[in-house]
Amino acid sequence: MGDFVGVEVAEHIATIRLNRPKLNALNRQMQLELAEAARIADADPQVHAVILYGGEHVFAAGADIKEMAAMSYADMAAHSRVLQDCFTAVARIGKPVIAAINGYALGGGCELALCADFRVAGEGATLGQPEITLGIIPGAGGTQRLSRLIGPAKAKDLIFTGRHVGAAEALAIGLVDTVVPDAEVYPAARELAARFVNGPAVALRAAKQAIDRGLETDLDTGLEIERLQFSGLFATQDAREGLTAFAEKRRPTFTGR
């Protein structure tokens, strides 16, 4: 698709593949290609789940520091919105998204992993938000998504110190969901993605939107978001199929309609 980011679809699973040797440093071009890949995967009705993958050796070691070092305040004030929008495009994919993490997922790489619904890490993976060691802070969602995922105290520990955590600690604090041998990361991510392939796509999108948007607001507003999503699903063929199949004691066949 692009020079550094590609989209491959097989068995209704799209793999968004980062490929900028050697460390998948997320420069401006890569950020824009990532957003376009997210839009393609989201819009394709043949895609039922998405995997973010940087390869066997590294997920993404962070932003392109050389590119950032040359930017002024005015430059970054203009670019920071583009940066966040690119990552938000990944977070807003209306399908289950799994980050398959080998090697480093640092800085922008960790922030990209935070945009996924689930994170599968290899035993040798290293995650963290080391921006503070450069005199800056995370700017692609790290301060917000990390604190929502693992809680403010643990997020402050990682962000204030900039320290790296290994896979075992990442699992213990809830930063990743599963740890497997390094060679099994991508197969494990595909196995997880396959669980959603035959699911009710409209209901999965509604559930994801209700959870994610609900976390952005107060409980009463979140409940209203849930109520509207819940009610709307009764207009879908999948809901009718699911309810009928239950009554008839058979497995439902969902069509995503």
Residues with catalytic roles: 111, 131
Q: Which amino acid is at 225?
A: I
Among the listed residues 208, 222, 245, 252, the one whose alpha carbon sits nearest the alpha carbon of residue 93: 208
Angstrom distances, CA of residue 100 to CA of 114, 180, 217, 235, 243: 12, 10, 29, 35, 34
d(CA 234, CA 228): 10
- 3-state SS class at 150: helix
204, 196 Cβ separation under 8 angstroms: yes
**C-beta neighbour count of 249 within 10 angstroms:** 6
